[in-house]
Amino acid sequence: MSSASSLPPFNQEQSIYEADLETTLLIAQLAQQDLEELASACKGKGRADKPRSDHELALEIQNEQLNEWRTFLEDAKLARSIGAALQTDQNTLNAFSIVEQAAAEDHRVAEILSQGGDLPEPTPTQKLLEDPTLFVEPPPSQGVAKPSRDSTRKGIGEATITPSTNISQIPVAGPSVDRYRRTACTICNDYVRFQECLHTSCDHHYCRDSFTRDESLFPLRCCQQPIPPDQASTFLNARLRSLFDVKLREFGTPPQTRVYCILPTCSAFLGSSEAVPAFTAIRCPQCQSHTCPSCKQAGHDARDCSENAAVKELKALARAEHWQTCPGCHAIVELQHGCYHMTCRCHTQFCYLCAVPWKNCGCHQWDDQRLLVAAERRVENEVGAAVRVEQPLVFQELVQERARTLHVNHDCVVHSWKNRSGGTCEECQEYLHLFLKICRNCSLVACRRCALNRL
């Protein structure tokens, strides 16, 4: 008979995934019944004042193990039941949430009409109610196989359970496919369920929350290949699909024509200034405030329309600091390093000196000082910053060679990436302490998100 100290360690996490809960609970109950029968058979066979034998102590410890295991399995069964219920009812709960929001918006519309106002445009939530697929259950996830009852029972029947058998040693069969498989989102790097991700043809994965977070990632693309919005829209549930459609319309509108609610606590996107007559205030469907589409200030008479004071101050600062304005979206751009070839977040390419579309002017491509700074940074990315101090002559030779290369070819059309240690991304300026990607050709350093989705 094995002593209690010789029992192998009890591995709860392993056993919970090696068999389905019902079968595992049954195993624990049968094993506990066997222990109770053995313990009953031992009663009355020894003196009352005699210490318990190793056999009796082992039975007691094994029984305590089984009690702990059964408690753990019961808790796991309850948690899995709650999780399954939430997963099943998620779409229904989202649909009811949309219905409640649409009802509140209908009430506001009724108040506007009762006060003699014009009928406002339907909100995205109200339009979503017209979608016939809103209350249709989505098809089950593909690629997830359910465990076979027959295969689970096979192996369990072949095991012999004795009081000395550790529970984690019982051979059982598990699911043929890991239904709990998780994968890292390419954008946020969070681990999410594999079947809840959008999978691209280049074998990258995106979670639901990453579609509406960053305008610089619009239009959707991966590895310079576009992702159709319809593909992403069908992947989202009803609530997120409504939000995604709003952001799709917002990011698809040229920045210089976007109109937002004047109320800072609201700031809802109201559409394009080109979609309404000039000097006609736009009513916000959420807070009922009025915003002038021309000056982006509170609604007013046409004769009172003037340029926003904050915009005037920003333009004055840009002139003083010699910043440039993008000819595409009119965003103000500052050149910190590199050549005069600018690529705005709206994907407009222009000359930083004269703001003319790229390759349509006779301006110089480089400032000599900025060229040397860019060459030094590329060399440090390639060989490390320590070379500047340890071998200054070698470092300067590499800088001059890199500067001559940049004069001819300052950027890659298609980057070729490899991994390196952490640092600051040159594209988004975010610091990542684990690793970055460096281009084999131009030595540009970028994070994974920029390498896949921005460059």
User: 132 near 160, Cβ under 8 Å?
Assistant: no
Single-letter code of the amino acid located at 207: C
pLDDT band, very low/low/confident/very high, at 328 (cuts 50, 70, 90): confident
Label residue 304 by pLDDT band (50, 70, 90).
low
pLDDT at 136 > cutoff 70? no
Check residue 148 and give its pLDDT.
40
Prediction pTM value: 0.44
Of 26-40, 136-150, 248-262, least confident by mean pLDDT is 136-150
Q: What is the mean pLDDT of the chain?
A: 74
The packing angle between helices 238-251 and 54-114, to 10°, is 50
The correct CATH number of 411-455 out of 3.30.390, 1.10.150, 3.30.60, 3.20.170 is 3.30.60
Yes or no: say if 297 and 262 are a contact pair by the CB < 8 Å rule. Answer: yes
* pLDDT tens digits for range 345-356: 777 889 998 889
Please report which confidence band the pLDDT of residue 100 belongs to, taking 50, 70 and 90 as the band edges. confident
What are the φ and ψ backbone dihedral angles of 112, each rounded to 5 degrees? -65, -45
DSSP single-letter state for residue 384? -
**Predicted confidence (pLDDT) at residue 179 exceeds the cutoff of 50:** yes
Contacts of 61 (CB under 8 A, 6+ apart): 4, 7
Domain boundaries, the chain: 4-169, 182-301, 307-356, 366-410, 411-455
- Looking at residue 45, its pLDDT comes to 60
What is d(CA 405, CA 74) in angstroms, rounded to the nearest whole number? 67
Report the alpha-carbon distance of residue 334 to residue 124 in Å, rounded. Answer: 36
Query: What are the backbone angles phi and psi of residue 258, rounded to the nearest 5°?
Result: -70, 140
List, for residues 180-224, the tens digit of each pLDDT value: 577 888 777 778 777 777 788 788 887 767 655 666 666 777 777
Q: What is the pLDDT of residue 157?
A: 36
